[in-house]
Structure 1
Amino acid sequence: FITLLLFKAVSLSLHSVHQDPSDIIIEETSPVQIFCSHDKTDFRVMLWYQQTPGHTDMKLIGYLHYSATTMEEEYKEDYKISGDLGGNTAKNGSLMITKAEQNSSAVYFCAASKAQ
């Protein structure tokens, strides 16, 4: 089986959020890592969402706050979020799907926010 993953970034007013790669096709059980970056130095929260085929809603996978990760329960086993949003430089984070399965086929969104 082959799994198709698409990635989208959410823009921040005058600033951009970038994801890489923009799309990928992989074999099942393969790992995949999606990178997200932005240059808004005071936005220290990075959120990751999944939108599955045929659905308009997005499910929160988890988020990074500075360097602390919070994952939603259903994603804890096969998904990992990493990065460090501290400092006054461009922000970088990643979402790792440790073992992509058929149900991993989705559009993945990265978004950034100020810490509350």
Structure 2
Amino acid sequence: VDYSFFVFLGVCLGVEVSQTPLEVFRRPGEKVQLVCSHEKTDYPLMQWYQKSPGDQALKRIGHLYYNNKEHEESFKTHFNISGDLSGEKPKKASLFIVDLKAS
């Protein structure tokens, strides 16, 4: 049975980002939601990158700035970003993988 495995963790500009769930096992074609959060109330930016197995390069999926989302063209059909990073509160946003591909 084909399953894909994802781990997205990160620190950006001194901001420690947490992800739930840490690991994801799903079949190709299924949907996945990754929820990312950080406690820096004055940092209204969240970015997502993809690293493929065997490839050292990071490919930018997109970002959320306040409540404005932007996707790289090649990721628009398989990924969606959701959230609102405005206000002086801890930040939380989601990356949805809408059509999981085998890695």
TM-score (norm 1): 0.82
Tell me the residue number matched to 2:8: 7
Give structure 1 regions of 4+ aligned residues with deviation exceeding 3 angstroms: none
Identity across the alignment (%): 38
Tell me the residue number matched to 1:96: 96
1: distance between equivalents of 2:3 and 2:91?
32
- Deviation readout 1:75-103 (Å, 9 max, x if unpaired): 0011001110001000000100001011x
Query: What is the root-mean-square deviation in Å for CA atoms of aligned residues?
Result: 1.2
Asked whether 1:69 is paired with 2:82, we answer no
Tell me the residue number matched to 1:111: none
Q: Secondary structure at the match of 1:74?
A: helix
Structure 1 stretch displaced more, 4-13 or 40-49: 4-13
In terms of fraction of residues, the more strand-rich structure is: 1
Cα pair 1:80 1:95 within 8 Å, conserved: yes
Which runs of 5 or more residues in structure 2 are unaligned?
none
TM-score (norm 2): 0.92
Letter of the 1:8 partner, please give it. Answer: L
Cα 1:11–1:68, aligned 2, differ >3 Å: closer, same or farther? closer
2: distance between equivalents of 1:24 and 1:33?
9
Tell me the residue number matched to 1:45: 45
2: distance between equivalents of 1:6 and 1:16?
15
Larger RCO, structure (CA 8 Å, separation 6 or more): 1
Tell me the residue number matched to 2:17: 17
